[in-house]
Amino acid sequence: MASTLENLSLQSKEDNIEDDVVDPWNVSSKNKTGIDYNKLIRRFGSSKIDDKLLMRIEAATKKPVHHFLKREIFFSHRDLHSILNLYEQGKPFYLYTGRGPSSSSLHIGHLVPFIFTKWLQDVFNVPLIIQLTDDEKFLWKDLKLEEAKAYECPSFYGNVLRIQKSVTFNQVKGIFGFGDSDVIGKIAFPAVQAAPCLSSTFPFIFGNEKVPCLVPCAIDQDPYFRMTRDVAPKLGYLKPALIHSSFLPSLQGADTKMSASDLNSSIYLKDTPKEIKNKINKYAFSGGRETVEMHREKGGDCNVDISYQYLKYFLESDEGLIKIEKAHTSGNMLTGELKNILIESISKIVKEHQTNRSKITDDDVKEFMTPRKLT
Amino acid sequence: MASTLENLSLQSKEDNIEDDVVDPWNVSSKNKTGIDYNKLIRRFGSSKIDDKLLMRIEAATKKPVHHFLKREIFFSHRDLHSILNLYEQGKPFYLYTGRGPSSSSLHIGHLVPFIFTKWLQDVFNVPLIIQLTDDEKFLWKDLKLEEAKAYECPSFYGNVLRIQKSVTFNQVKGIFGFGDSDVIGKIAFPAVQAAPCLSSTFPFIFGNEKVPCLVPCAIDQDPYFRMTRDVAPKLGYLKPALIHSSFLPSLQGADTKMSASDLNSSIYLKDTPKEIKNKINKYAFSGGRETVEMHREKGGDCNVDISYQYLKYFLESDEGLIKIEKAHTSGNMLTGELKNILIESISKIVKEHQTNRSKITDDDVKEFMTPRKLT
């Protein structure tokens, strides 16, 4: 198995030199249209989410699929068919996703996996684990370390150890590119990200039952789960299934993802309507032409236009989106108008988030952070 | 600093090839008289406990030193003078020792650091931390993993991470000899053994105060603390001080230490008087001569006689021990008589332990295992 993993990663290294870099700590592309996700699927060895799979999801859940699926924002998977088999047989599974605290506020890109995970939780009616990996941010960045709550749960550390006993340095070297001068914290960390894929990490939820796990995540996190999928069977578990999203681009263009540490590339969930308006007007990369006349004549390019790209994520109405695409491409809609539509959409979502957030009490947070039986 | 550590270990590797092997997982010697501890002091770069230091301890504590010190059973140290300076100035320090559960019962060799640590605790009147490293035994041996209690304390995992962020794979490779095919659990583990050396691991005991630490341990554990002494100043702490013991030999002879997994080499703390008697009579390596006549004429060799060696640990009376040595060396005392003295001494200690242990309730254990303020 080690050799399979190493082959995978050698292949990925070669590709990286030529174009896109996608790993848990770096995402960038040399192409103006951003990451080539089809190439990434081939490189990682995952499967494309095709129309047949979308139809199967609709049939199983008896609900229309989320627009993130229709628009290929969640575009790749591993073993999603196995999860649907379980669901159709009335057997349980659970969701696991996570977030590393990289700044004092989330940005709108961070919402993407959460919006989608909430949808999965609702349509499948299954338990959800959210892991907050402040330890990863401490090891890789200079973030201050606060209390590490997860370890309050002894079953968690037990499974971290079981995983750490099943993975060699050679393997993490192959998967993550670690070297001899990396600190031992980084080398050991992947097991922390892997542990929630084993249902025995949460005995207070699942008892002794071995319940399979589905992980919605951005595709840069795939290396962690390639490792986990290698380890899980050795510990008597099914491989975790995965469903991968693309990256919300930065305001500056599709060649990098939105980054919480770059103030001008991001719209934060605590931004005011004015800040949102200013950032989009000032920074959102435009696919429009240099002059109004040229734009009216030749039309804009939605493939590189950040406002249009963001609307693919945040404008639910399919007809609305098609209308905008046609109007911009034909030259009828100018960049300013397109930006105004985006400003309105994003402001609405951010305001809604802020309103909901203001209602959360310390007791709510405490309850969510306490290992407990789910009802 | 990395290079210092690497030099140390390269040197130790060369020595190892020629004679003694001493690391946290292996202890053996090619010499019938066992490990050459003076050589080990030079190899590890620690300091010998000399008469001057013994006198200083007696002067500071106003109590006679323990016979383990007089008989060079605790024979080596790092920075013990600094601890005595603190003590003389009325400043606090604390003790930290540990035990990995390698079998269902401790053996009498395991008592050695505990007896001595208890003595240190009594004469210096300082707090004591005992870490139970079942995680180490899980990673290196096939011991089943139970709950890992230590991680219930968030400050513990925080310091483990801080240490793991300060140590590279190159460093643990140099200190412990880890290689690319070692599992990541082993590579990361030394930080778990190191964390209790930082007083901030125990905020419920020490608050925000940076209190120095003294570690009594067998000398095979020194690599863990060489690493810790390298890391502690980077995290704003004094290097932990150390006091090292030799190894109680196995019944079969001084060339290996007593091992909990080798039934015939060990006297367990749950053995019956009959088992103790049988094991010593059957297995304890004798320094006596082949026949009674030869023994009477030439005398026995206390340097290789296991019964005599054990009495150095477990017979408190100095005069008693000298009398025995003379009688055996001169040929007056036969192996059988010497073994009977040892059987009596060990049986008494084991019985006392069993009596005390039978009085321990589950509530006592729970109290000792709970993070709490010390009174």
Looking at the structure, do residues B278 and B206 belong to the same domain, yes or no?
Answer: no
pLDDT-derived band at B355, boundaries 50, 70, 90: very high
Q: What confidence score (pLDDT) does residue B341 get?
A: 97
- A164–chain B Cβ distance below 8 A for any pair: yes
For residue B28, give the nearest of B12, B10, B16 by alpha carbon.
Answer: B16
Looking at the structure, do residues B233 and B280 belong to the same domain, yes or no?
Answer: no
Contacts of A238 (CB under 8 A, 6+ apart): A82, A210, A212, A213, A232
Looking at the structure, do residues B217 and B82 belong to the same domain, yes or no?
Answer: yes
Interchain proximity B170–A161, CB inside 8 Å: no
Query: What's the Cα-to-Cα distance from B90 to each of B53, B60, B87, B229, rounded to whole Å?
Result: 19, 11, 5, 24
Domain interval for residue B338: 273-358
Which one of B157, B181, B185 has the shortest CB-CB distance to A161?
B185
Q: What is the pTM of this model?
A: 0.89
Whether A121 is covered by a domain: the verdict is: yes
pLDDT-derived band at A1, boundaries 50, 70, 90: very low
Q: How far is CA A112 from the centre of its chain?
A: 7
- B302–chain A Cβ distance below 8 A for any pair: no
Q: How far is CA B289 from the centre of its chain?
A: 32
Average pLDDT over residues B46-69: 97
Q: What confidence score (pLDDT) does residue B17 get?
A: 42
Q: What confidence score (pLDDT) does residue A147 get?
A: 54
Q: How far is B289 from chain A (nearest CA, A)?
A: 49
For an interface test with A, give the residue of B6, B137, B161 to mutate (most A CBs within 10 A): B161
Looking at the structure, do residues A53 and A93 belong to the same domain, yes or no?
Answer: yes
Interchain proximity B188–A183, CB inside 8 Å: no
- B148–chain A Cβ distance below 8 A for any pair: yes
Q: Does A86 score more than 70 pLDDT?
A: yes
The strand pairing partners of A170, in sequence order, are none
Q: At B136, which CATH number? A: 3.40.50.620
Which one of B139, B161, B169 has the shortest CB-CB distance to A187?
B169
The answer to whether A227 touches A194, Cβ cutoff 8 Å, is: yes
Interchain proximity B139–A168, CB inside 8 Å: no
Looking at the structure, do residues B124 and B199 belong to the same domain, yes or no?
Answer: yes
Distance CA A88, CA B98 (A): 52
Pairing of strands B26-28, B21-23: antiparallel
- Closest alpha carbon within chain B to A192: B185
Pick the range with the lowest mean pLDDT from B132-141, B236-245, B327-336: B132-141
Q: How far is A189 from chain B (nearest CA, A)?
A: 9
Interchain proximity A154–B161, CB inside 8 Å: no
pLDDT-derived band at B155, boundaries 50, 70, 90: confident
For residue A294, give the nearest of A335, A254, A251 by alpha carbon.
Answer: A335
Interchain proximity B169–A154, CB inside 8 Å: no
Which one of A147, A185, A190 has the shortest CB-CB distance to B165?
A185
Distance CA A84, CA A61 (A): 9
Q: What confidence score (pLDDT) does residue A224 get?
A: 97
A 202-241 → B contacts, CB under 8 A: none
Whether A255 is covered by a domain: the verdict is: no
Distance CA A100, CA B202 (A): 26
Interchain proximity A169–B152, CB inside 8 Å: no
Whether B306 is covered by a domain: the verdict is: yes
Q: What is the pLDDT of residues A295-323, one digit of tens each?
A: 999 999 999 999 999 999 999 999 999 99
A with B: how many residue pairs have Cβ under 8 Å apart? 121
Q: At B307, which CATH number? A: 1.10.240.10
Query: What's the Cα-to-Cα distance from B143 to each of A203, B109, B139, B151, rounded to whole Å?
Result: 21, 20, 8, 19
Looking at the structure, do residues B313 and B181 belong to the same domain, yes or no?
Answer: no
Angle in degrees, 0-180, between the axes of helices B306-314 and B108-124, rounded to the nearest 10: 20
The answer to whether B213 touches B199, Cβ cutoff 8 Å, is: yes
- The residue written with tokens 């810790």 in the block is B228
B180 contacts in chain A (CB < 8 Å): 168-170, 173
Phi, psi of B76 (to 5 degrees): -140, 155
Six-digit token pair at B324?
Answer: 């025995």
Looking at the structure, do residues B84 and B225 belong to the same domain, yes or no?
Answer: yes
Q: Does A94 score more than 50 pLDDT?
A: yes
Whether A9 is covered by a domain: the verdict is: no
For residue A241, give the nearest of A80, A18, A358, A369 by alpha carbon.
Answer: A80
Q: Does A16 score more than 70 pLDDT?
A: no
What is the number of structural domains in chain B? Answer: 2
Of A245, A260, A282, which marks where a domain is finished?
A245
Average pLDDT over residues A182-200: 97
Distance CA A308, CA A328 (A): 9
- Closest alpha carbon within chain A to B164: A185
Which three-class secondary structure state does DSSP give residue B128? strand
Three-state SS sequence of B36-103: CHHHHHHHHCCEECCHHHHHHHHHHHCCCCCHHHHCCCEEEEECHHHHHHHHHCCCCCEEEEEECCCC
Element counts in chain A: helices (H) and strands (E): 19, 10
Q: Does B16 score more than 60 pLDDT?
A: no
Interchain proximity B165–A149, CB inside 8 Å: no
Interchain proximity B147–A168, CB inside 8 Å: no
- B126–chain A Cβ distance below 8 A for any pair: no
Q: What is the pLDDT of residues A115-166, one digit of tens each?
A: 999 999 999 999 999 998 888 888 888 777 765 554 567 788 889 999 999 9
The strand pairing partners of A104, in sequence order, are none
Mean pLDDT of chain B: 90
Q: What is the pLDDT of residues B131-150, one digit of tens each?
A: 988 888 888 887 777 655 54
Handedness of CA A349, A351, A352, A354 (dihedral sign): positive
Type of residue found at B180 = D
Q: What confidence score (pLDDT) does residue A12 get?
A: 46
Distance CA A292, CA A366 (A): 54
Q: What is the largest CA-CA distance in chain A?
A: 68
Handedness of CA B129, B133, B136, B137 (dihedral sign): positive
State what percent of residues in chain A have pLDDT above 90: 75
Pick the range with the lowest mean pLDDT from B93-107, B238-252, B277-291: B93-107
The answer to whether A230 touches A73, Cβ cutoff 8 Å, is: no
Q: What is the pLDDT of residues B357-372, one digit of tens each?
A: 999 999 999 998 888 8
Q: Does B100 score more than 60 pLDDT?
A: yes
- A178–chain B Cβ distance below 8 A for any pair: yes
Q: What confidence score (pLDDT) does residue A275 get?
A: 96
- A165–chain B Cβ distance below 8 A for any pair: yes
Looking at the structure, do residues A154 and A228 belong to the same domain, yes or no?
Answer: yes
- Closest alpha carbon within chain A to B166: A183
Looking at the structure, do residues A86 and A131 belong to the same domain, yes or no?
Answer: yes
Looking at the structure, do residues B210 and B139 belong to the same domain, yes or no?
Answer: yes
Handedness of CA B254, B255, B260, B265 (dihedral sign): negative
The answer to whether A130 touches A163, Cβ cutoff 8 Å, is: no
Q: What confidence score (pLDDT) does residue A152 get?
A: 63
Query: What's the Cα-to-Cα distance from B187 to each of A161, A164, A280, rounded to whole Å?
Result: 12, 9, 47
Looking at the structure, do residues B219 and B291 belong to the same domain, yes or no?
Answer: no
Whether A124 is covered by a domain: the verdict is: yes
Whether A31 is covered by a domain: the verdict is: yes
- A1–chain B Cβ distance below 8 A for any pair: no
Six-digit token pair at B83?
Answer: 């601890």
Cβ-defined contacts of B150-153 (< 8 Å, 24+): B150/B192, B151/A151, B151/A152, B151/A154, B151/A156, B151/A157, B152/A151, B152/A152, B152/A154, B152/B371, B153/B201, B153/B202, B153/B371
Q: What confidence score (pLDDT) does residue B146 get?
A: 64
pLDDT-derived band at A19, boundaries 50, 70, 90: confident
Whether B278 is covered by a domain: the verdict is: yes
- Closest alpha carbon within chain B to A164: B185
- The residue written with tokens 């681009």 in the block is A249
Q: Is B54 exposed, middle or buried (0-12, 13-18, 19+ CB in 10 A)?
A: middle
Three-state SS sequence of B297-313: HHCCCCCCCHHHHHHHH
Looking at the structure, do residues A80 and A214 belong to the same domain, yes or no?
Answer: yes
Element counts in chain B: helices (H) and strands (E): 19, 10
Whether A106 is covered by a domain: the verdict is: yes
Q: What confidence score (pLDDT) does residue B139 get?
A: 87
